[in-house]
Structure 1
Amino acid sequence: MAEMAASPSAGPPAKSSQNLDDVMLAMDVVDTLRHQETLVSRELGEEDRNAQLLQRLREIYRGQGIEVPDRILQEGVQALKEQRFVYTPPGPSFARTAARAWVNRGRFGRMLMAIMALLGLGWGAYQFGVVEPARQRVAQEQAQVERNRIELAERLPAALEQGHEDVLREAQVPAARERAAQLLADGRSAISRGDAEGARQAINDLEVLRADLRREYALRIVSRPGEPTGVWRVPQRNPAGRNYYLIVEAVTPDGRLLSLPVTSEEDGRTVTAPKWGVRVSEEVAMQVQRDKNDDGIVQRNRLGEKRRGQLDVNYLMPVLGGAITQW
């Protein structure tokens, strides 16, 4: 009796399991058909296609050791035709887009962070590589304009007048005073037109003129052993002639040797030289040479003198005015 009572209650679960197995088999049939695209496309396009398709399906499952009832095979074929067990994705919509964005938020977030980082780097590079240098240049230009304005209004005019007065105190020849007056006029003109650089140049030229006026030295003919006292050169314009030069150096009253700017008549270049050649006549050159030949020393070794307050050298021997810096 207990067994008879238990049997009715076991019936429904077995039927439910059987129905689930049928559904699973039908889905497997559909999946098999879907993976046999050549078979489906050929058989479904011919007469008696259902019978032939069922026969092919039986052979496929028997080859796998599976016995599938014809009912299930027919249900699978019908399901394939009706597109059952086929997932059709929903069409485009805002909800779908929002859902996909939420699902992919991690990847989008990383991409967004990378883009923001690149934008930040680009902005920083632009700020520090373009904007900031341009701002600094503008600030420097404005500061220079302001400095020039202040200098043109106060410092430069005072420095110009002071430089002119300093030159006049040293000048002992009209040429020096005339040169100072010209530089003063140039500086005032530069200040009036707002040319700070031109005014500074005039002030600097006045300082150079003052230093030149204060300088005093003697031009001494070199007569040390192993060094030439004089040289001669064949001029390019007169291959048949000769130019004679005495080698000299500038010596201060306290015995210091000076290096002075000298312009060579051979190439027109001006260099600061400790020794140079002064062109003289052949007669003067031979006279100095005979002086040296007597005892190896040039007794009359002073070619000229530059006194304080003067611009030019006062020559004690006749000279022809040219000079060389190499021999």
Structure 2
Amino acid sequence: MSEASAAPRPAEHKLDDLMLAMDVVDTIRHDQRLAERELSLQLSDDALIGRLRKIYSDQGIDVSDAILQEGVKALRERRFAYASPKPGVPRSLALAWVNRARFGRALAVFLISVAALAGGYYLAVERPQKLAQTEISERLPQSLKSAYSQALNESRIAAARERAQQLLANGEAALARGDAEGTRKAIAETTALLSTLREEYKLRVVSRPTSAVWRRPRINPLARNYYLIVEAVDENGRVLAKTIRSEETGETATVEKWGVRVGEDVYKKIMADKLDDGIIQQSVIGEKKRGYLEPDYTTPVTSGAITQW
């Protein structure tokens, strides 16, 4: 055997001694009787070493007194004891880093939820409010003034101008109280007024199938009300739909033919004209000109109309 191979290995012995010392400490920690009675009573190192020697001897393990002394010393110094880090910023940062994946998922879910709630609130509350505010402050006032200006320019009679001014006042009052629906209603009515003012047509008695009818009023079954069945025809021959209120039912309907109430003499004259050759020679009884609200009648009529007969 060579000199090199026979040489001692102090590093290995030191490692073995260290492992044994750690085992001694572990034995002391796990032996509750030692830890709670002898150690807590602060026995002398010799007494504690004696107890440890017996423990290892009972197990058939030969441990030198030097190792036992090293183990007891390490235990006294808490050399191999784990001390939990004290609470503080470094510990919190370390824990956060260790749990970053779990916290990251939770944070992502939280941020997505916040974004969804914010988006929903914006779409359901903020955006409609902004649109409504913009409509009240900008679009509706402009639309109201534009409709009024056009209606005023088209008016050829005082009644139409007064109606346009009243609708403008209604719309402005609605704007002042933030009533968008009321303002839109005023605009719609002004637009309808403008459409009426722009209309041009002739009121013509229809030839077929019925040109005139008579009706008995409910309040006086012995009397008769006479009507000419008419239609509004523009310069291109197109029949226009008109909104008419029936004096019999009190209901309003949009129709292309309706009955205009006339006296008995006008009724008989029209019927005689039709019976002559089946054609009404004087079929036009009025004309609606641009800028006016109602037709200018060339045949005497009375107030009242019907939409069914």
What is the TM-score with the length of structure 2 in the denominator? 0.60
Measured in 2, the distance between the counterparts of 1:231 and 1:272 equals: 20
Tell me the C-alpha RMSD between the 2 structures. 2.0
Match of 1:281 in 2: 263
Match of 1:257 in 2: 239
Match of 1:145 in 2: 129
CA deviations over 1:64-117 (Å, ceiling 9, x no partner): xxxxxxxxxxxxxxxxxxxxxxxxxxxxxxxxxxxxxxxxxxxxxxxxxxxxxx
Q: Aligned-pair distance for 1:288?
A: 0.7
Q: Which amino acid aligns with 2:271?
A: Q
Measured in 2, the distance between the counterparts of 1:145 and 1:206 equals: 26
Q: Aligned-pair distance for 1:239?
A: 0.7
Measured in 2, the distance between the counterparts of 1:164 and 1:204 equals: 11
Q: Aligned-pair distance for 1:155?
A: 1.4
Pairing 1:85-124 to 2, within 5 Å after superposition: none
| 1:233 aligns to 2:215 (yes or no) | yes
| 1:291 aligns to 2:285 (yes or no) | no
Match of 1:208 in 2: 192
What stretches of structure 1 of length at least 5 have no aligned partner?
1-126
Local SS of the residue matching 1:157: helix
Measured in 1, the distance between the counterparts of 2:293 and 2:156 equals: 9
CA deviations over 1:221-240 (Å, ceiling 9, x no partner): 0113xx01101111100111
Match of 1:198 in 2: 182
Pairing 1:45-56 to 2, within 5 Å after superposition: none
Q: Aligned-pair distance for 1:136?
A: 5.0
Q: Which amino acid aligns with 1:178?
A: E
Local SS of the residue matching 1:254: coil
Q: Which amino acid aligns with 2:222?
A: A
Match of 2:64 in 1: none
Measured in 1, the distance between the counterparts of 2:253 and 2:121 equals: 37
| 1:178 aligns to 2:162 (yes or no) | yes
- From 291, 298, 302, the equivalent of 1:320 is 302
Q: Aligned-pair distance for 1:206?
A: 1.1
Measured in 1, the distance between the counterparts of 2:121 and 2:182 equals: 23
CA deviations over 1:246-292 (Å, ceiling 9, x no partner): 00011001111111111111111111111011111111100111111
Q: Aligned-pair distance for 1:179?
A: 0.6
Q: Aligned-pair distance for 1:138?
A: 7.8
Measured in 2, the distance between the counterparts of 1:269 and 1:144 equals: 37
Measured in 2, the distance between the counterparts of 1:161 and 1:188 equals: 9
Local SS of the residue matching 1:184: helix
| 1:222 aligns to 2:202 (yes or no) | no
- From 287, 291, 299, the equivalent of 1:309 is 291
Residues 139 and 235 of structure 1: is their aligned pair in 2 closer, same or farther, counting only changes over 3 Å? same
Residues 156 and 302 of structure 1: is their aligned pair in 2 closer, same or farther, counting only changes over 3 Å? same
Local SS of the residue matching 1:265: coil
Q: Which amino acid aligns with 1:320?
A: T
CA deviations over 1:190-209 (Å, ceiling 9, x no partner): 11111111111111111111
What is the TM-score with the length of structure 1 in the denominator? 0.57
Q: Aligned-pair distance for 1:141?
A: 3.9
Residues 289 and 159 of structure 1: is their aligned pair in 2 closer, same or farther, counting only changes over 3 Å? same
Match of 2:14 in 1: none
Local SS of the residue matching 2:249: coil
Number of residue pairs the alignment of both structures matches: 195
Measured in 2, the distance between the counterparts of 1:304 and 1:321 equals: 14
CA deviations over 1:143-182 (Å, ceiling 9, x no partner): 2221111111111111111111111111111111101101
Pairing 1:150-165 to 2, within 5 Å after superposition: 150-165=134-149
Q: Which amino acid aligns with 2:234?
A: T
Measured in 2, the distance between the counterparts of 1:141 and 1:256 equals: 48
Match of 1:168 in 2: 152
Give me the identity figure in percent: 48
CA deviations over 1:28-65 (Å, ceiling 9, x no partner): xxxxxxxxxxxxxxxxxxxxxxxxxxxxxxxxxxxxxx
